[in-house]
Amino acid sequence: MPDKPADGTAALDKALDVLDAIGRSGAGLSQAELGAQLALPRTTLYRLLGTLTARGLLRRDPQRRVYCLGLRCFEYARAAYAMPDLVAAAGAELRGLRDMTGETTYLAALDGLEVVALDRCDSAHGRRSNTALGQRKPLHCTSQGKAILAALPAEQREAIVRELPLAAVTPRSITERRRLQAELRLTATRGWSIDDEEIVPGVRCCGAAIVDAQGAVRGAISVAGPAFRLTMERLGLIGPEVAEAARRIGAQLAAAQGGPHAAGEARAVPGGWAFDGAWPAWSDTAGALFWADTLAPAVHLATPAGDRVLAPFDAPIQALLPHADGAAVLAGEQWTHLDAEGTRCALPDLPRRRASAVCAGPDGRFWACVADGERWRVAELSGEAGSAGGWRLAEPATALAWDPQGQCLFIAAADSGTLHVALPGSTALRRLATVPKGSGRLAGLAADGAGGVWSALRGGWSVVRFDADGAMDRVITLPVPCPTALGFDAARRLYITSARDAVDREALEAAPLSGRLFVVDDAAPAAP
């Protein structure tokens, strides 16, 4: 006779109680221990265990004679948290990090106030980190949890932090909200997090959040191992690699999802690709953007609707700057004026000094970073540029950008990852921000009208905005690894050039849009 509905529900409740008890135990439970905990008749428990084992939700360890969670539980967990292809996208990166570091690597996702382990690649060492798949851990004392928190929108992050119990799992666990907030700010700035023996004594980890092109935090990856192998100095080297792997995973997820682009996302402008895109310069007269492929030398003309090659050149293009009703192009040793119709004329009065970076000020004057003995100098581009005035640097600048009002000049120095601010009338430089090498190399700069400056992070799959205090307040992820330069148009759209020549074959397969021009609608905040 079939069970009544109430009987079926009661049986389901009992089966779920069995799963809960075994899931909480960690090491598994015997039939006798389960019977004692749940006060179930022996025959009922026997039937439940048999059914759950047959369905793969439980497995029996014949040596210890205990029941543990089965692989089907992990499959359900993956289906719930993968969204939908996170595990598949992370697999190769987890193996790559494991092989590079020799330590165990993990993938986890956020669930309430905890992270859940979704995947793992084991270290070959006898002594290694050994978190079980499906295991849940607190956010505040794990590298994965802190990486996810740091990447979340501020409002969501604050709401979660307020609810965290901040229990002292080990003597090194963070138990003060102010200290946790400080560490989250540090994590957001450098792009990766650290667990310094905060959840397991003697084990250190570093982690990074996985963020897709829509800006959604999808999970985190981490590298974990004994503290004697993962010293703090070694974590400083591994952390940027973990952040880079997390960005690659996010890029794969973005490519797999497709679909329409929401406001504030980068979208590829219809057209061809360049080997090394650079020097985007908007022309109000032409109502279009001039930009260059420096290696297959040609100048392109673009609007948000499309991009085309305007004029090929016979020599590599070393600079392109806005000039009159078009652009001034330095190809080889010759400056040429180019308008939107492709008409050219020589510009013999412009100096031909080689520079590591050039830009145009709002008054139309050109500025450059040129060699000055054993150092470098940023000064107005003239026949004697670099001999006096301006600002001295210990390394070459990779990008320059004046703010729209001409009140300050931003200088990017990629070797040290430093973003400087220079004020007219002063020879001193102020450090605005420092970007860790693992986040990418500072490339092109563009200043908006609200006191912020944007930078392309070459090798970092993103462009970022720094506010007037040097805080990184916005990140736009890209489906390509090497953004190269930035420029705004009159409608506050941000254009981003990218490179293809420096992308290896494996990365190119994951980033087929490399070399394309991208645009972000309404990227710049309105001027105050």
pLDDT of residue 524: 67
Counting Cβ atoms within 10 Å, is residue 88 exposed (0-12), middle (13-18) or buried (19+)?
middle
**Start-end of H helices in 164-271:** 177-190, 232-257
Adjacency order of strands within the sheet including 288-293: 277-283, 288-293, 298-303, 306-312
Per-residue pLDDT of the chain (528 residues; tens, 9 = 90+): 344 444 557 788 888 899 889 888 877 899 888 888 888 888 888 889 989 988 888 988 888 888 988 877 766 765 555 444 688 788 889 998 998 888 999 999 988 889 988 888 988 777 777 777 778 899 999 999 999 999 999 889 999 999 899 999 999 999 999 999 999 999 998 899 999 999 999 999 999 999 987 788 999 999 999 998 899 999 999 999 999 999 999 887 754 444 433 346 889 999 989 999 999 999 999 999 999 999 999 999 999 889 999 999 999 999 999 998 899 999 988 999 999 999 999 998 888 778 999 999 999 899 999 998 889 999 998 754 444 578 999 999 999 999 999 999 999 999 999 999 999 989 999 999 988 777 789 999 999 988 899 999 998 888 989 999 888 888 888 888 999 999 999 888 999 999 998 887 777 777 889 999 999 987 766 555
Helix (H, G, I), strand (E, B) or coil at 24: helix
Quote the pLDDT of residue 345. 95
Residue-wise pLDDT for 58-74, tens only, equals: 988 888 888 988 877 76
| pTM confidence score | 0.56
Q: What is the pLDDT of residue 8?
A: 57
Over residues 164-180, the pLDDT tens digits come to: 999 999 999 999 999 99
Residue 298, SS3 per DSSP: strand
Q: What are φ and ψ of residue 182, in 5° steps?
A: -65, -40
Q: How far apart are CA 239 and CA 244, in angstroms?
A: 9
Q: What's the CA gap between 10 and 320, in Å, rounded?
A: 75
* Strands annotated E in 148-284: 193-196, 203-211, 217-226, 266-268, 277-283
Rounded CA-CA distance 203/65 in Å is 30
Location of structure tokens 């430089």: 429
pLDDT tens-digit series, residues 396-453: 999 999 999 999 999 999 999 999 999 998 999 999 998 877 778 999 999 998 889 9
Residue with tokens 């930035």: 486
* 3-class secondary structure, 336: strand
Burial class of residue 150, CB neighbours in 10 A (0-12, 13-18, 19+): buried
What tokens were used for 291? 């930009």
Phi, psi of 16 (to 5 degrees): -65, -35
What crossing angle do the helices spanning 42-54 and 31-38 adopt, rounded to 10°?
Answer: 120
Omega before residue 84 within 30° of 0, cis? yes
**pLDDT of amino acid 403:** 94
End-to-end CA distance of the chain: 77
Compute the 3-state secondary structure of the chain and give helix, strand, coil in percent, each to the nearest 5.
25, 35, 40
